[in-house]
A and B are shown apart, each in its own frame.
Chain A
């Protein structure tokens, strides 16, 4: 019995839709749950922001915008590159797909490097244990960084699967699922950018 035989016509729909796959649903639900986690973190941030007379509190300066904006550009472009790479794969250009996904991984890695730089500079003036504001800042951005790292691992895993020929060409579900997660991580960053970096400048 071969798997190829199984996938005879009566078992396969004419066009493959990733959103019909159980794996795609599971990842979508993981993203929703993680989105809720970040939402609750941000609830903590805004709740204490209202409770405190000033937010960020006196003595802590508002976060600088230059570096985060570069980081944003990196992440957004990484998502665009990934979308293009997937399109190449659908057209059968596996090599271009690999190049594109590798580029996404490098952009994500650059994001994490810049985040580390930001931390190193920030830690000199604001320790995480000084004030609830600082604790929340490092917790939220740190958890997001961990999610970026996990997203990178997922993309590397997908590349490995591709390199070893372990992706079903008719149903490349792992490709769709890992990129879904990556786009989700990017979207969370945009919300964090708006909440932690831009909102203090609006008041």
Chain B
């Protein structure tokens, strides 16, 4: 293996070998067991959108209930289950998995690799995500969905006030899901740090990868806080341990601290990757590299880091010491600085560039506008006295939706319009896309802006109805109408996605003239991503002619491994083939968690043993591969 030119001359033989090494799945079982990051990434995104549709229907039913005062459509208990499942679905089953799906699909392509670092783990985490989602949703079948809000405060979530299995579905389901999230995060970190193309030193890495990296590191340290809280909750509910009961030396605030130590980083975990998407979309459609690349990367990391130090702002109304509240209020306001750095970098990129308003760019600009509103209402809420006024009102509902729906969701839609051609080889229809954008943009603002008002007027969140009063009636009716318009806009894009698979214009490798490595691959990429592994010598390599074809690595399923910071070539990593054991262990884990739910402890023990044996088998090297090296 030598210079790039050697490879170019031997291309047909190389391609033939690579095609043989990456055979297409021949049966349904093989399709299930695939380890291809592209197939799994798309599965992640599609599955997440199915959950998104469910969460959307829940929201639509709630808005119907709230359209008029004294609504009779839902009982209080049904309403509790709906708002809880709406939150759980959107926070845990939609927004994080959809962003992870993009990350798993794009990361190897953007770093010029053939796979993620742990392809089988990727398949495992997809199936655990899917099964955990089904596990949580199974609660609907017996009419006992979680009903204490997505943050399930104790003692409302304790067995004394919540004796059914509702919260057990929540606690065990999220513990189960946490395995998937953590595994995915570790996979992301190692891939980004170790599998970057030779020459893609860390300062040349695209900004989306910086936000994926920050997201993943935050998951590694934040997820355990939720796991610890859920373990406590489940031990208290099932085994009568005490952690949150004051009578026995516990404290309900312990739940809140642990939950928000997880919960606030989580807000950035589900937000930062969307900013990373914007940092890819905006430069491409401004036809210039991003302004302040280094500052945006730093701002991303700082936001992730400071995100661990602001959790108390969710608890201003719980009677904490004044000093603690001042500190956390100040820390929360600090977050606006790195966020502003990102926003000004995007605006400057647009200002100095030549903006092309494709649909993806429209969504990006919509993100900026709405996120600024959500950011400002966030800074307002960080002021303790103001928070006392609006806490647990619709003002907070407006705030979180401006950040996560107006921000993250618009970012995801920008990502869909931007990367769909890469994933499916065809462009989405621009006219339909723009129609969808305007419907969503108008619907979103008409739906959620009045919630600021109803919140200020004192309408509390999570209450199934409200008494007729002049301000609230109009605000709620407008909110409902806007929310439905928003939903119509979303459906238009979904239709666009389905239709364009057949009717869309053929895209070609780089339809937007973008600068990063994923646009070097075919659209959709070959199963092995790149026939010759790219070698990089600058940022935005496709724009600056800073990429050259390296060796083919076609002796086996290989991808280059490089050093963490400078991306000097170290060696090649051998990639595994499709694998059934990763799928099987996800199923045995489901059995284990299901057994805990119904308290069949011997089944739990058996399923756990099966999981351990399955993982041992999964990682056991095959005779044919290793025997030859046993000298």
With beta carbons under 8 angstroms apart, the residue of B117, B182, B251 that contacts A48 is: B251
Q: Which residues of B contact A135 (CB under 8 A)?
A: 235-236, 241-243, 250
CB distance from B393 to the nearest CB of A (A): 29
Contact present for B189 and A29 (CB under 8 Å)? yes
CB-defined A-B contacts under 8 Å, sample of 16: A4-B631, A25-B117, A26-B117, A29-B190, A29-B220, A33-B220, A37-B228, A44-B228, A47-B251, A47-B257, A139-B231, A139-B235, A157-B616, A161-B621, A165-B626, A168-B621
Give B212-236 as 1s and 0s: 1 = Cβ < 8 Å from A's Cβ atoms. Answer: 0000000011011101110110011
What distance in Å separates the Cβ of A77 from its nearest Cβ neighbour in chain B?
27
Taking the closest CB of chain A, its distance from the CB of B610, in whole angstroms, is 14
- The answer, yes or no, to whether B492 is at the interface (CB within 8 Å) is no
Tell me if B242 and A166 are in contact (CB < 8 A): no
The residues in B between 584 and 615 inclusive whose CB is less than 8 angstroms from any CB of A are 612
Give every chain B residue within 8 A of A165 (Cβ-Cβ).
626-627, 630
| B residues in contact with A106, CB < 8 Å | none
Q: Is the CB of B249 within 8 A of A57?
A: yes
Q: How far is the CA of A170 from the CA of B239 in the complex (A)?
A: 49
B556 interface residue (CB < 8 Å to A) = yes
Chain B residues within an 8 Å CB radius of A1: 555-556
Given A20-B570, A33-B224, A132-B248, A166 contacting B626 (CB threshold 8 A): yes
Q: Which of B118, B249, B612 is within 8 Å of A22, CB to CB?
A: B118
Contact B186 A133 (CB under 8 A): no
The CA-CA distance from A128 to B238 in the complex, in Å, is 13
| Given contact pairs A20-B571, A43-B261, a sample of 11 additional A-B residue pairs in the complex whose CB atoms are under 8 Å apart | A3-B556, A3-B625, A5-B555, A6-B558, A6-B572, A33-B182, A33-B223, A37-B228, A40-B224, A40-B225, A40-B228
Instruction: Determine the chain A residues whose CB is within 8 A of the CB of B630 once the complex forms.
Output: 165, 169
Chain B min CB distance to A9 (Å):
11
Residue of A with least CB distance to B623: A166
Q: Indicate which residue in A4, A33, A57 contacts B629 across the interface (CB closer than 8 Å).
A: A4
Partner of B117, one of A13, A22, A39: A22
Q: Quote the shortest CB–CB distance from B115 to chain A (angstroms).
A: 11
Complex CA distance for A78 and B44, rounded to whole angstroms: 43
Q: Which residues of B contact A52 (CB under 8 A)?
A: 249
The A45-79 residues at the B interface (CB cut-off 8 A) are 47-48, 51-52, 57
A20 and B250 form a contact (CB under 8 A): no
Residues of B within 8 A of A161 (CB): 620-621
Contact A3:B243 (CB < 8 A) given known A25-B194, A57-B249? no
State how many angstroms separate the Cβ of B146 from the closest Cβ of chain A. Answer: 22
Bound-state Cα–Cα, A62 to B229, Å: 25
In this assembly, does A32 line the interface, its C-beta being within 8 Å of a C-beta of chain B?
A: yes
Q: Which residues of B contact A139 (CB under 8 A)?
A: 231-232, 235, 241
B612: which A residues are within 8 A, CB to CB?
Answer: 153
Q: Contact residue range for chain A? A: 35 or more
| Total B residues in contact with A, Cβ cutoff 8 Å | 60
Q: What are the residues of chain A within 8 A of B558 when measuring CB–CB?
A: 6
**Are B261 and A3 neighbours in the complex by a CB distance under 8 Å?**
no
B320 CB–A CB distance under 8 Å: no
Q: Contact at A6–B243, with CB atoms within 8 Å?
A: no
**Contact between chains at A6 and B556 (CB < 8 Å):** yes
Residues of chain A touching chain B, judged by Cβ–Cβ distance below 8 Å, are: 1-7, 10-13, 20, 22, 25-26, 29-30, 32-34, 36-37, 39-41, 43-44, 47-48, 51-52, 57, 128-133, 135-136, 138-139, 143, 153, 157, 161, 165-170, 174
**Residues of chain B with a CB closer than 8 A to A36's CB:** 220-221, 224-225
Are the C-beta atoms of A131 and B242 separated by less than 8 Å?
A: yes
Q: Which of B284-340 contact A (CB under 8 A)?
A: none
In the complex, whether B258 has a CB less than 8 A from a CB of chain A is: yes
Complex CA distance for A51 and B561, rounded to whole angstroms: 50
**Contact mask B460-498 → A, CB, 8 Å, 1/0?**
000000000000000000000000000000000000000
CB distance from B402 to the nearest CB of A (A): 30
Give Cα A48–Cα B254 distance, bound, in whole angstroms.
Answer: 8
Hey, which chain A residues are within 8 Å of B561, CB to CB?
20, 22
> Cα distance A157–B612 when bound, in Å?
11
Q: Decide if B16 is an interface residue (CB 8 Å cutoff).
A: no
1/0 contact trace for B562-581 toward A, CB 8 Å?
01000000111110000000
Q: Enumerate chain A residues within 8 angstroms of B556, measured Cβ to Cβ.
A: 1, 3, 6
Q: B240 an interface residue at 8 Å Cβ cutoff?
A: yes
* Docked-complex contact A26 and B186, CB < 8 angstroms: yes
Q: Is the CB of A168 within 8 A of B629?
A: yes
Are the C-beta atoms of A166 and B621 separated by less than 8 Å? yes
Instruction: Judge if B193 is at the interface, Cβ distance under 8 Å.
Output: yes
User: Is B429 an interface position by the 8 A CB rule?
Assistant: no
- With A and B bound together, what is the CA distance between A128 and B258 in angstroms? 21
Give the residues from 106 to 122 in chain B that come closer than 8 angstroms, CB to CB, to chain A.
Answer: 117-118
Q: Tell me if B245 counts as interface (CB < 8 A to partner A).
A: yes
Q: How far is the CB of B116 from chain A (nearest CB, A)?
A: 10
| CB pair A32 B555 closer than 8 Å | no
Instruction: State in angstroms the CA–CA spacing of A39 and B224 once bound together.
Output: 9
Q: Does B141 contact A (CB under 8 A)?
A: no
Closest CB-CB distance, A144 to chain B, in whole Å? 13
Chain B residue numbers with a CB within 8 Å of A132 are: 242-243, 245, 248-251
CB distance from A31 to the nearest CB of B (A): 10
- Closest chain A residue to B551, Cβ basis: A10
Nearest-CB distance from A18 to chain B (Å)?
Answer: 12
- Distance in angstroms from B104 CB to nearest chain A CB is 15
Complex alpha-carbon distance, A167 and B182, angstroms: 27
Instruction: For chain B, residues 493 to 549, give those with C-beta under 8 angstroms from any C-beta of chain A.
Output: none
Query: Which of A11, A166, A174 is B571 in contact with, Cβ under 8 Å?
Result: A11
Which single residue of chain A is at the shortest CB-CB distance from B251? A51
State the CA gap A170–B628 with chains docked (Å): 12
Minimum Cβ distance to chain B for residue A21 (Å): 8
The 9 A-B pairs with the shortest beta carbon distances in the complex, nearest first, are A37-B224, A40-B228, A135-B241, A132-B249, A36-B224, A132-B250, A22-B117, A2-B628, A129-B240
